């Protein structure tokens, strides 16, 4: 399966980043990054929905086991995975019917990547921090938005350094 | 082929996605205190509202039974009053749950309705239609015209959950007024009008038919609320205590109108 080892490497890298780097760069009162969201955003479309769902759940459970509370990462991550295809079709209504077989988000330009990834990240964070703090207030909405912006910065760095395909 | 069709239907991705979301959310809620408390509160409110509706539908049918009980209670009160008015008449005659009324000094009776009650469980409870807004809080005693019923364990703004005397974890201090002996109630989980009175020492003579009241030093109930009558006395020489069976005046299956005993000044738990 093409790209399997890259996805495995990305998952491992993200788990390491979540455990080591995030506590160092996060601001608990202002914005908390969760760069692992990029895993659900970037899972290859051509692998099919069943395998994709299995990987999405597997990665979520790994995060849950390493960074409790259990269930929260999987729940929020599956939202991202579940919505990304519909979101992409909404952004590109003229995609051909068999687009999943050939399309990959790794070809996105930075602007396209922002339009694709930021709303999904924001959606993830609204669920994550809303459920995590178990309240829905303007403070949580602001914190989620700031965190999504900060997370996107890290996602963009990962995207540019490791994932983006550059054409010659 | 048919099995394969079913498998295909079950393993549809949207269905699996919903299932995975449900399981994840469930795991999160049960493993985190704040969400699980909220869900518990919601489910109690929902359950209370549903049973409130059912109770409302049943109201005309239960009203007649309540009227009969009230008539009987009125008769008892009139009888007791007539005895008290005679100069030489007995003054220790008890009237329903309220003994000689002396027990209720310092308490206010808050009438309440049972919206729902469990039957045949080992941890029996009932839901009352009164809660924090009516000044109720956990720890208050609940009585019926027949005798003690239980204790408020949890309250929301509009509902209260009452743990019954017929609950495996409820133990209240009881009193044999004739002998002045005290013991502790417990429920064996079988009969809904019988309790056990334990820790009454063997050197105290106990007779079948004696009254059992709440104890003078009880913190939750006022002293002297009627609980039942001694129906059987067994001697356990190995333990040094009686094993006394008390037939309660309250029958869990026929509670009737309920009253919460709210002290005029709130109960302050003793500091350790």
Whether the pLDDT of residue A124 is over 90: the answer is yes
pLDDT band (50, 70, 90) for residue B259? confident
Q: Which of A71, A82, A134 sits opposite B31 (nearest CB)?
A: A71
pLDDT band (50, 70, 90) for residue B80? low
pLDDT band (50, 70, 90) for residue B89? very low
pLDDT band (50, 70, 90) for residue B250? confident
Of B148, B172, B104, whose CA–CA distance to B252 is shortest?
A: B148
ipTM of the predicted assembly exceeds 0.90: no
Mean pLDDT, range A20-44, rounded to an integer: 89
Give A113 or B7, the one with higher predicted confidence.
A113
Contact B11 A50 (CB under 8 A): yes
Phi, psi of B159 (to 5 degrees): -135, 160
pLDDT band (50, 70, 90) for residue A40? very high
Contacts of B20 in chain A (CB under 8 A): 53, 57, 74, 78
Mean pLDDT, range A67-85, rounded to an integer: 90
pLDDT score at A150 = 93
**Spatial separation of the C-alpha atoms in residues B152 and B125, rounded to whole Å:** 9
Contacts of A49 in chain B (CB under 8 A): 13
Domain boundaries defined on chain A: 4-163
pLDDT band (50, 70, 90) for residue A144? very high
Contacts of A64 in chain B (CB under 8 A): 24, 27
Round to the nearest angstrom and report the end-to-end CA distance of chain A.
25
Mean pLDDT, rounded, of chain B: 81
Contact A134 B35 (CB under 8 A): yes
- Look at the alpha carbons of A68, A70, A75, A77 in this order and tell me if their dihedral is positive or negative: positive
**Spatial separation of the C-alpha atoms in residues B191 and B271, rounded to whole Å:** 36
Mean pLDDT, range A122-145, rounded to an integer: 90
Give B67 or B127, the one with higher predicted confidence.
B127
Whether the pLDDT of residue B92 is over 50: the answer is no
Contacts of A70 in chain B (CB under 8 A): 27-28, 31
pLDDT score at B180 = 85
Contact A75 B21 (CB under 8 A): yes
Q: What confidence tens digit (pLDDT) does each residue in B137-169 have?
A: 998 999 887 888 999 999 998 999 999 999 988
pLDDT band (50, 70, 90) for residue B270? low
Give B91 or B126, the one with higher predicted confidence.
B126
**Spatial separation of the C-alpha atoms in residues A52 and A58, rounded to whole Å:** 10
- Asked if A108 and A164 count as a contact pair (C-beta separation under 8 A), the reply is yes
Whether the pLDDT of residue B219 is over 80: the answer is no
pLDDT score at B268 = 56
- Asked if B260 and B250 count as a contact pair (C-beta separation under 8 A), the reply is no
Contact A71 B20 (CB under 8 A): no
Contact A69 B21 (CB under 8 A): no
Q: Which of A69, A131, A134 sits opposite B31 (nearest CB)?
A: A69
Contact A78 B34 (CB under 8 A): no
Contacts of A75 in chain B (CB under 8 A): 21, 24-25, 28
pLDDT band (50, 70, 90) for residue A166? low
Round to the nearest angstrom and report the end-to-end CA distance of chain B.
70
Whether the pLDDT of residue B1 is over 80: the answer is no
CA distance A130 to chain B (A): 11
- CATH number, span A4-163: 1.10.1760
Under CATH, what is the fold of the domain B51-264? Thrombin, subunit H (2.40.10)
**Spatial separation of the C-alpha atoms in residues B97 and B226, rounded to whole Å:** 5
- Mutation to test the B interface, candidates A55, A69, A86, A136, most B Cβ within 10 Å: A69
Q: Which of B17, B21, B38 sits opposite A134 (nearest CB)?
A: B38
Whether the pLDDT of residue B24 is over 70: the answer is yes
Tell me if residue A88 falls in helix, strand or coil. Answer: helix
Mean pLDDT, range B189-210, rounded to an integer: 87
Q: Which of B17, B32, B38 sits opposite A78 (nearest CB)?
A: B17
């Amino acid at each position: 399966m093409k790209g399997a080892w890259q996805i495995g490497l990305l998952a491992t890298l993200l788990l390491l980043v979540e455990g080591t780097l995030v506590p160092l760069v996060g601001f608990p009162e202002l914005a908390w990054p969760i760069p692992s969201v990029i895993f659900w955003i970037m899972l290859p479309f051509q692998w099919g929905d069943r395998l994709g769902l299995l990987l999405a759940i597997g990665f979520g459970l790994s995060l849950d086991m390493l960074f409790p509370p259990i269930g929260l990462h999987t729940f929020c991550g599956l939202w991202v995975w579940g919505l990304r295809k519909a979101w992409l079709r909404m952004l590109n209504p003229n995609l051909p019917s068999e687009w999943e077989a050939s399309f990959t988000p790794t070809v996105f330009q930075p602007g396209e990547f922002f339009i694709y990834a930021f709303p999904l990240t924001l959606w993830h964070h609204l669920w994550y921090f809303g459920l995590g703090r178990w309240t829905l207030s303007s403070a949580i909405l602001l914190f989620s938005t700031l965190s999504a912006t900060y997370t996107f910065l890290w996602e963009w760095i990962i995207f540019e350094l490791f994932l983006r395909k550059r054409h010659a | 082929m048919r099995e394969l069709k079913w498998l295909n239907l079950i393993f549809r991705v949207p269905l699996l996605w919903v299932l995975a979301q449900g399981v994840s959310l469930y795991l999160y809620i049960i493993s985190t205190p704040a969400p699980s408390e909220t869900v518990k509160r919601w489910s109690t409110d929902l359950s209370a509202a549903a049973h409130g509706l059912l109770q409302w539908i049943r109201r005309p049918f239960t009203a007649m039974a309540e009227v009969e009980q009230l008539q009987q209670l009125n008769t008892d009160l009139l009888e007791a009053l007539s005895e008290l008015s005679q100069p030489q008449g007995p003054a220790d005659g008890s009237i329903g749950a309220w003994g000689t009324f002396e027990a209720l000094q310092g308490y206010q009776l808050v009438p309440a309705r049972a919206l729902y009650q469990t039957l045949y469980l080992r941890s029996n409870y009932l839901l009352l239609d009164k809660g924090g807004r009516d000044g109720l809080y956990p720890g208050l005693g609940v009585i019926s015209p027949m005798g003690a019923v239980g204790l408020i364990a949890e309250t929301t703004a509009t509902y209260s959950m009452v743990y019954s005397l017929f609950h495996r974890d409820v133990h209240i201090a009881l009193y044999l007024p004739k002998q002045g002996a005290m013991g502790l109630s417990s429920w064996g989980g079988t009969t809904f009008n019988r309790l056990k009175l334990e820790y009454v020492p063997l050197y105290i003579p106990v007779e079948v038919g004696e009254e059992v009241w709440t104890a003078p030093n009880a913190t939750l109930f006022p002293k002297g609320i009627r609980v039942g009558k001694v129906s059987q006395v067994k001697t356990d020489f190995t333990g040094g205590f009686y094993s006394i069976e008390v037939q309660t005046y309250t029958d869990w299956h026929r509670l009737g109108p309920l009253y919460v005993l709210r002290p005029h000044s709130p109960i302050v738990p003793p500091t350790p």
